[in-house]
Structure 1
């Protein structure tokens, strides 16, 4: 089987220990699932960089952390680590003439919404962090990952805008005081539009992030069969959109699939003709029904505002038919 790559965090690895004759690795790798993997170490550093499945050769690789996040997180933690440092930071905020009443917050690395809030608040106090660097000699020395550079702040600002889209969508869809079923589909479309935009971004960090997130998106919405039909029904029940919006959006999301459906509708008689051996009875019924014209009225009469005229063709009709045409002309 061809090997595939999946990003996974292998940080915190420690030496193997024997416990019940089962190799267990570190605090973060205590699951028995790791018995099915073989560690691959870097020949230069000896550090585990990959893990290969013993059964299907699937490769797990170490994820690369965003240095901008790490350095900004370190600066925030330094400021929040003591009352004295917090007071000094407040002084720097005042001297930098920052009017925001928000407070920098420490995030939880495993929760992206907390990371977004941390970045949003930290970006408001960028000048204060730079001033504190000048007034507190220990500030930069205590940051093991270094002080955030100007490039880090710019990268964080761009990525914060991306995370904001997901943050707002999550807040709207998780509301409890209003109807959310009819909003889900719209939010999914908004997320898809953002992902398509990010994958084309000039910033390599945003482009890579957008590409990885698009793969996750396709896992749940890449094919029409994966979409919960009730989400579409909820939109159809919204009087502002109805089925027209559903049809329009599906055409945008699944252009190839929609084209196949249109071709099928255009060649429905041909399709039943091909399936006549498989569905003999249904094909016979379809042939009889599809052969019936939906209207017996000529197109000239349908678009004409004048009364019906009995011509040479109609004069050959049965008397009852002619009578019916004359009596129903109004």
Structure 2
């Protein structure tokens, strides 16, 4: 009580209070003195006294001045208890506002250096942050015209002038252009090639969009994926649409001679058409490695989803009954209690809980079936003792569910392995693909009629993927020093039996042919006195006392380095590739970092490391790093009605800028000298 009047009285006193008598010191210019007075204390010292809370701080001791930084923090960061109790009013005071809600007074005097307190608000920075808010959270541009949003912004900062929808567009384009220029510079400095992913978006109109992402490994051996373009096309499914868009994008980003592979997310029937068209069109304009043999790659996440959806569709009637059964049990607490009593009486050991699935995410359907399968006896008993329930699957139905769950587990486990990888490089996918191919091959030959029937359509779809991508998958795993060609030989012997040697030779020949193409490319000169054969690494690929950069060559022996480089190429009887393949495999440990291993062995294998950099960056999956593989879907993505109505350049700016901004450091930073204080109660 009386707290508000006390504050008002103190504010009035602050307005009429005069500063101490002027001394010979120059006039104080800092705005902090609007909130402090200087009081003399014993010993010829002075202290600064806060006008609001009357707390004092050291200011001078004889001829020494303590400065004003600690005084600014007291006011600007809310340390003053009066500011904490009257937060809104006092923050307005600290920013130079009147407390009666009127517009701010103009500053009494301007100085060349802006004060700490005045720098708290900047209209341009606020405009940029508003544009980033709209971009990152996919808000409609006209949100700035909503009275509630404007009122909210004004409550935070009355000096902020709300933008119009047209002005927000301008700010969005400015953010897009700024981040685009930054990415352009990054792409200009990458040492290797770029692989693309191509996704199609449809609209309610006849128009469509093509989304292009570039994946690459930088000079520090870090894997990156960035959106390059989100371009509108009138007929995205036409014969030349993709190749034309890709050509335009490569020209815009100056990547004409850096294209390595393209990953598509298309259905099985159209993939061959797209593959042939892209290869023929782009091979005339770009230098494709290995004559484009694995130029077009299919999305691994897409094939998992296609196969999983086919399995689920094969027993859709049974799944419907199970879904309805779960709904029935969970419809009321009494039914759940009755079902629990039945399960307890049957001594069902399951700890799983019944759950409903999300039909667009097949992993949730898998979990629903697995849980229901363990309670199959309870559902059967429930049907006999509850006349309202008649959805229990038959014993044959449960057998089909059991087989389907076994196949779904194979796909689910594979997806989890890929999603668990922080940087899913291309070498990871061979392990998963060959195991699925082998299991489906065995299932197709099974004497169990249900197993062979369910696996038949799965095998047809996955075998098509395996035939299209097994070469690029195998080449990628050869770049893993824990496996090299040995895993290819082992897995192919399991899949192909007596014909394995023929398939292994195709992989071996392709690797050597690709290596020769990299040999023909120039390499940066390496000083001869750097020990090429000793890249010191630990078993998990971490560095052990290894210099991060080559020693400087400023010793006048440049010609000597060239001489050594020339004779070494003629004296070595084995290539880098053969040396690499013949060396012992590294131990298989979970913490192994393949990119770091190649970074540390870059000097030992200068040509082969260039080849490994490009191969390991191939995007075997369309999903972004860290995303779920279960909701990719088998068809094109659909642009909503609102974004379909925007101008194409704004749509591209919104999509691309959102992708680019997520890789930036945090936009909001704490003020300097901010500390976290643990409060004692």
Query: Any unmatched runs of 5+ in structure 2?
Result: 1-203, 207-312, 510-572, 574-681
Picking from 446, 457, 476, the partner of 1:212 is 457
- Residues 382, 389 of structure 2: 8 Å contact kept: yes
- Distance in 1 between the 2:367 and 2:335 partners? 21
Mapping 1:170-249, distance limit 5 Å: 170-177=415-422, 181-223=426-468, 226-227=469-470, 229=472, 231-249=473-491
- Distance in 1 between the 2:504 and 2:483 partners? 24
Larger RCO, structure (CA 8 Å, separation 6 or more): 2
Q: Residue deviations 1:159-209, cap 9 Å, x none?
A: 211211111111111114576643310110110011112212334343233
Change (3 A) 1:259 1:215: closer
- Distance in 2 between the 1:260 and 1:176 partners? 27
- Residues 173, 180 of structure 1: 8 Å contact kept: no
SS of 1:104's equivalent?
coil
Change (3 A) 1:197 1:186: same
SS of 2:388's equivalent?
helix
Q: Residue deviations 1:260-299, cap 9 Å, x none?
A: 967xx8xxxxxxxxxxxxxxxxxxxxxxxxxxxx9xxxxx
Aligned to 2:400: 155
- Residues 366, 405 of structure 2: 8 Å contact kept: yes
Aligned to 2:365: 115
SS of 1:174's equivalent?
helix
Structure 1 residue 68, shift from structure 2 partner = 2.9
Change (3 A) 1:236 1:119: same
Mapping 1:1-330, distance limit 5 Å: 65-140=315-390, 143=391, 147-177=392-422, 181-223=426-468, 226-227=469-470, 229=472, 231-250=473-492, 255=499, 258=502
- Distance in 2 between the 1:31 and 1:87 partners? 51
- Distance in 2 between the 1:260 and 1:162 partners? 28
- Residues 492, 500 of structure 2: 8 Å contact kept: no
Could you state the TM-score of these two structures normalised by the residue count of structure 2? 0.26
Could you state the TM-score of these two structures normalised by the residue count of structure 1? 0.51
Structure 1 residue 138, shift from structure 2 partner = 0.9
Aligned residues: 198
Q: Residue deviations 1:25-80, cap 9 Å, x none?
A: xxxxx998xxxxxxxxxxxxxxxxxxxxxxxxxxxxxx764433232222122112
Query: Any unmatched runs of 5+ in structure 1?
Result: 1-29, 33-62, 266-293, 295-330
- Distance in 2 between the 1:220 and 1:137 partners? 48
- Distance in 1 between the 2:475 and 2:405 partners? 33
- Distance in 1 between the 2:347 and 2:395 partners? 20
Q: Which moved more, 1:196-205 or 1:63-72?
A: 63-72
Change (3 A) 1:31 1:163: farther
Change (3 A) 1:126 1:239: same
- Residues 430, 474 of structure 2: 8 Å contact kept: yes
Change (3 A) 1:120 1:85: same
Change (3 A) 1:88 1:259: closer
